[in-house]
Amino acid sequence: MIAGLAKDVPPLHSIGGGVVAVWPKVKRQSTKRCSSWRKRQSTTLPVSALLHSSQNGALLAPACIGLLVGTRKQPAKCRKHRVLCRAQKDQGKSGDDSVYKDTVLLPATDFSQRANAKKREPELQDFWNEKKIYEQLQEMEHPNGSFTLHDGPPYANGSLHMGHALNKILKDIINKFKAATGHEIKFIPGWDCHGLPIELKVLQSLKSKDKKGLTPLKLRQQAAKFAQETVKEQRASFQRYGVWGDFESPYLTLLPKYEAAQLRIFEEMVRGGHIYRGRKPVYWSPSTRTALAEAELEYPEDHVSPSIYAAFKCTQLPDGFSGFENLELAVWTTTPWTIPANRAVAVNPELTYSIVKAVWTESERTPRHLVVASGLVERLQDLLKATLTVEKECAGGELEGIKYEHPITGVETPLVMGGDYITTESGTGLVHTAPGHGADDYLVGQKYGLEVAAPVDNAGNFTEEVGLESLVGANVLKDANSKVTDLLEEKNLLLLRKPYSHKYPYDWRSKKPVITRATPQWFASIDGLRSSVLKAMDEVQFIPESYANRMRPMVEGRSDWCISRQRSWGVPIPAFYRKDTGEPLLNTDVISHVREIIEERGSNAWFELSIAELLPEQYRDSADEYERGTDTMDVWFDSGSSWAYVEGELGSPVDLYLEGQDQHRGWFQSSLITSVAVNGRAPYKSVMTHGFCVDENGRKMSKSIGNVIDPRTIIEGGKNQKLEPARGADVLRFWVASVGFASDVSISLGILKSTEENVRRLRNRARFILGNIHDFDVATEGIPYEDLPVIDQCIIRRAENVFDQMKEAYDAYSFSVATKLLDRFTSVDLSSLYLDLAKDRLYTSGKTSHSRRSCQTVLRWILVNMTKAIAPVLCHLAEDIWQFLPPGEKEESVFLAGWCKPFPKSGEVGARVQDMDNILQLRDPVNQALERARGNKMIGSPLDAQVKIMVKSDSDLYNALEQMAKVEHQSVDGLNWLLSVSQAHYEAVDALPELPNESDESASSEDKDLGVVVIVARAAGTKCERCWVHTTNVGDCKEHPTICLRCADVVQEMGVPSPLETVDSA
Ligand SMILES: [Zn+2]
């Protein structure tokens, strides 16, 4: 249906066949028989369609009254009209039809009522491609300079989900808006193509016989192919969203030129002394002698570890612990073999700890004093089969300062403060800490500067570093556990052996357990960069501001960045190692040489060429002494280097990075670190953050819950088209714009449905306007501002305000505010007010009359600007509207037309426009009174009514009414037209009267703030058959006795013959 009608208000006009198609259904009215032929045939018509006969007051059908007026003495001819009436009834237009139906200027447009997005959106996209609109935009003048948004690369691993859609559409809205407001935009989409997940997909797709002969090079070729195919698929999806950019030349992290840019950053960081080789725990599979990633692990059900409870003897106690000289720290571990690598015991400073006296009654063990978490005392009592008596309680923090004797080496070792990972769910609440064998342990170790000891070789055997001759060579997955445990028992440090069944990681290929083991890795030193990174962050604008402090604590607390991975699919770390000593060779000469090779041949060259070819001149003679490294770079180093690749085209720093909130830990941060390391500043001026997509209950989308919504289904429709119809990309885009994206955003079928409804409403409002300006050429028939009726100037002023506010909202990236502003303007100011008033002059005035042309001038201007204002979001709808704009000045595409422009020469707001604003406030109380009158069945439509306004003489409103009564275009600005009734009068009063009692004759309302009482009565005179307005001059025109003089002028000018002639000649 066409928008623009206030709800529940029947149309002003329902003459003519076309009406039925475009107007809302008229509410069922009460009906009566036409008096002139009730004796002959029982036919009923709506009351509003009947007229009172001026002769006898009988209710007559309009056609019949015409007959009676013209052939008063020959009522028999009524038969002719009976035929007419019956024909109308047969067409389902009971009584609404009229001989004047073709004289009413109804909306006409080919612009489709339905979006039909599945077919139409691709057509519009083809249009953009054919006309090269994105390219044309770049060639235009850019009065506001350039705006650079650098795309964060999605991972080329599978189909796009809602998060991708949200992200890329937000970027596109910004780009389209910036382009419209005179900025040069250049958007280079990117993809992250290296890394383990892709490597794994390739491995999974291989048959076992192919896996056997798999070299790094073969695997890389397959991975590259997979990544490129995924990029292709994702690219098509992004383009289907209507996203614009250099999709033909995106940046891919696997491009040789990209790899070279990345290596240049690495080279600079080596030059700056930011890269070093250190040790860090990784999952290590002794069975396959390789490091593994989390994704390569399995956790079988039946693993049992030989867990032990042990006691470490304190050697130093803080103040307040006197009397506990023989205190011991009770610890628990499921991996006794890690005890030699123990470098601390950690407690949680937030937990409460107890010093207990343990007494064994059933055995001859000597009592001992142990420190345990208070929450575990009871449980330990049961486990140890001892009586534990609490002798002192203290907070974890108070234990700081305790030192103990290392159970294997005897070295004095500290107690340290750990984190939340220490709980009272199991163990003792004190955690044996071996930084070389655990991730949490490693982090605590970094904080306290503990040694990263890992005295275990590739096969899982203890090395000499284990510190005890008898342990060297023991295998940590076999005899090492019992050997260590026996040692503790010998030293009387063992409290309990207890097999423990839990989830433990296994190698997914060998099906054998893995260990955590520190191995040599390459690191980027954060310590050296931290203060510069934090300083660079100060210069960055965070949007929304609430995210300003998200990244800071992460950088403050960040340990060094491990940038090496033991994988094949990535950019190689161009390091060589001496065959004899393992000593690495990595310097700027080496990197620079390798970088040039890779820039030309891609990083496969690292695996293809000989060592001699890869080494620079000065090392070539000793090439035999080196082997190439097999580590590749962390993919965060890949994507964190993207600024260097796009620098040439986008410049640096760019204006904006825009990603999900997880990128404060990821891409925002890695990009910042590499850029600060090389350039000493951030790669971006501002960083914008959006939340995650969740369902309407705030839950993450997951297949198991079944709440996943696929962007492709939104656009193309799902299996069940009734439940999930094809809604098109615009609905997806409108959803993106209308959610407050700073926090998590909800989506569900219900939300989508109402979003679609909003888009449809906008479409239909636009369609209504298109239909009404189809015969109008603004260049030759437009009316200048100063000649417009006041109501037109008033709506222009309101629209200009809205477009300005929308621009402000877009500028602030508040797209939800922008869409709400537009929705409110089109519903309230446009649909319920202006279009409601406009229909009378659009349909019933003379085709080229001033009142109609002025309205068309305004409507065209509003539509053009409205279309521009929605184009960044609803790009397809906007272009669709644009292509249907009737002739007149217009650009080839809405995107070449720039942003909204003020109405030509609209200038200052005049006093009359303010008066109009005052008067329009009257519509509320008047509509209330009309509603009551309709409730009493006193009137059908507002045009059946006349209104009397009693207004306080000292009010602004009274002055406004007095002024408005003097303006030129009374046929538009007259009070009755502004109130949509047939007659309106006002009367000044000193004080507002009491409201009269409700009756069949009148209804009333009041508005004390406005200072008015409104009284509604039945309109005087007769209803005009053509315009439905009641006047006393219906019948004054002899040739057209059933219509008002205003209409008579119009139809005579149109050369419409008198209906009487038809009747007479019959
Ligand atoms: Zn009329």
Is the bond into 544 cis (omega within 30 degrees of 0)?
Answer: yes
Q: Which residues pair with 298 in a beta bridge?
A: 506
**pLDDT value at 485 more than 70:** yes
**pLDDT tens string 576-606:** 999 999 899 999 999 999 999 999 999 999 9
What stretches of 347-413 show up as alpha helix (H) in DSSP? Answer: 377-384
**Quick check: 940 and 29 in contact, CB under 8 A?**
yes
Question: Measuring CA to CA, which residue among 976, 948, 269, 332 is closest to residue 637?
Answer: 269
**pLDDT tens string 429-464:** 898 999 999 888 998 888 888 888 889 988 899 988
**pLDDT value at 68 more than 50:** no
**Cα–Cα distance for residue pair 742/736, rounded to 1 Å:** 11
**Quick check: 664 and 550 in contact, CB under 8 A?**
yes
What's the CA-to-centroid distance between 999 and ligand 1, angstroms?
29
pLDDT category at 111 given cuts 50, 70, 90 is very high
User: What residues contact residue 896 under an 8 Å CB cut-off, 6+ apart?
Assistant: 133, 136, 137, 140
CA distances (Å), origin 250, targets 13, 90, 231, 246, 532:
56, 63, 10, 6, 31
Q: What pLDDT shows up at residue 295?
A: 67
**pLDDT tens string 388-418:** 888 888 888 888 888 999 998 889 999 998 8
What's the CA-to-centroid distance between 979 and ligand 1, angstroms?
17
**Least confident interval from 63-72, 187-196, 228-237, 970-979:** 63-72
Name the residue type at position 698. Answer: G
What's the CA-to-centroid distance between 371 and ligand 1, angstroms?
99
The pairs formed by 597-604 with CB atoms below 8 angstroms and a separation of 24 or more are 598/256, 598/259, 598/260, 598/263, 598/571, 599/256, 599/257, 599/259, 599/260, 600/256, 601/256, 602/254, 602/256, 602/259, 603/256, 603/259, 603/571, 603/572, 604/217, 604/220, 604/221
What's the CA-to-centroid distance between 1044 and ligand 1, angstroms?
4
What's the CA-to-centroid distance between 1046 and ligand 1, angstroms?
6
More confident: 89 or 669: 669
**pLDDT tens string 754-774:** 999 999 999 999 999 999 999
Q: What is the mean pLDDT of the chain?
A: 87
What's the CA-to-centroid distance between 1022 and ligand 1, angstroms?
10
Q: Which residues pair with 689 in a beta bridge?
A: 659
CA distances (Å), origin 680, targets 136, 305, 671:
36, 50, 12
**pLDDT tens string 134-165:** 999 999 999 999 999 999 999 999 899 999 99
What's the CA-to-centroid distance between 1023 and ligand 1, angstroms?
8
CA distances (Å), origin 259, targets 252, 451, 605:
9, 35, 12
Question: Measuring CA to CA, which residue among 721, 737, 739, 731 is closest to residue 760?
Answer: 731
More confident: 70 or 387: 387
What's the CA-to-centroid distance between 899 and ligand 1, angstroms?
40
**pLDDT tens string 494-537:** 888 889 888 899 987 788 899 999 988 898 998 889 999 999 99
More confident: 630 or 67: 630
What's the CA-to-centroid distance between 471 and ligand 1, angstroms?
109
For the record, the structure tokens of 17 come out as 């066949």
What's the CA-to-centroid distance between 709 and ligand 1, angstroms?
54
What's the CA-to-centroid distance between 1024 and ligand 1, angstroms?
5
What's the CA-to-centroid distance between 1001 and ligand 1, angstroms?
24
Q: What pLDDT shows up at residue 703?
A: 80
**Least confident interval from 907-916, 951-960, 1015-1024:** 907-916
H/E element, 867: helix 850-870
Q: Which residues pair with 327 in a beta bridge?
A: 369
What's the CA-to-centroid distance between 840 and ligand 1, angstroms?
10
**pLDDT value at 975 more than 90:** yes
CA 950, distance to chain mean position in Å, is 51
What's the CA-to-centroid distance between 778 and ligand 1, angstroms?
27
What's the CA-to-centroid distance between 833 and ligand 1, angstroms?
21
**Cα–Cα distance for residue pair 321/323, rounded to 1 Å:** 6
pLDDT category at 882 given cuts 50, 70, 90 is very high
**Cα–Cα distance for residue pair 13/6, rounded to 1 Å:** 14
What's the CA-to-centroid distance between 1047 and ligand 1, angstroms?
4
> What sign for the dihedral angle of Cα 190, 193, 196, 200?
positive
Question: Measuring CA to CA, which residue among 638, 750, 762 is closest to residue 696?
Answer: 750
- Biggest distance spanned by C-alpha atoms of the chain: 134
Percentage of the residues of the chain whose pLDDT score is greater than 70: 90
Question: Measuring CA to CA, which residue among 384, 345, 338 is closest to residue 484?
Answer: 338
What's the CA-to-centroid distance between 317 and ligand 1, angstroms?
103
What's the CA-to-centroid distance between 1052 and ligand 1, angstroms?
12
H/E element, 970: helix 970-973
Q: Which residues pair with 44 in a beta bridge?
A: 33
Residue located via tokens 């959006």: 690
What's the CA-to-centroid distance between 963 and ligand 1, angstroms?
27
Q: Which residues pair with 1050 in a beta bridge?
A: none
Q: What pLDDT shows up at residue 892?
A: 94
**pLDDT value at 120 more than 80:** yes
Q: What pLDDT shows up at residue 93?
A: 39
**Cα–Cα distance for residue pair 433/342, rounded to 1 Å:** 5
Q: What pLDDT shows up at residue 946?
A: 96
698-724 burial, b for 16+ CB within 10 Å, e for fewer?
eeebeeeeebebbbbbbbbbbeeeeeb
What's the CA-to-centroid distance between 1049 and ligand 1, angstroms?
9
Residue located via tokens 């209803």: 1023
> What sign for the dihedral angle of Cα 146, 147, 152, 153?
negative
The alpha carbons of the chain give a radius of gyration, in whole angstroms, of: 41
**Cα–Cα distance for residue pair 1040/966, rounded to 1 Å:** 31
What's the CA-to-centroid distance between 501 and ligand 1, angstroms?
91
**pLDDT tens string 779-794:** 999 999 999 999 999 9
pLDDT category at 62 given cuts 50, 70, 90 is very low
What's the CA-to-centroid distance between 912 and ligand 1, angstroms?
28
What's the CA-to-centroid distance between 784 and ligand 1, angstroms?
27
**pLDDT tens string 255-296:** 999 999 999 999 999 999 999 998 888 888 888 777 777 767
**pLDDT value at 30 more than 70:** no
Question: Measuring CA to CA, which residue among 1052, 957, 939, 935 is closest to residue 1013?
Answer: 957
**Cα–Cα distance for residue pair 380/1060, rounded to 1 Å:** 110
What's the CA-to-centroid distance between 1027 and ligand 1, angstroms?
4
**Cα–Cα distance for residue pair 1063/1049, rounded to 1 Å:** 21
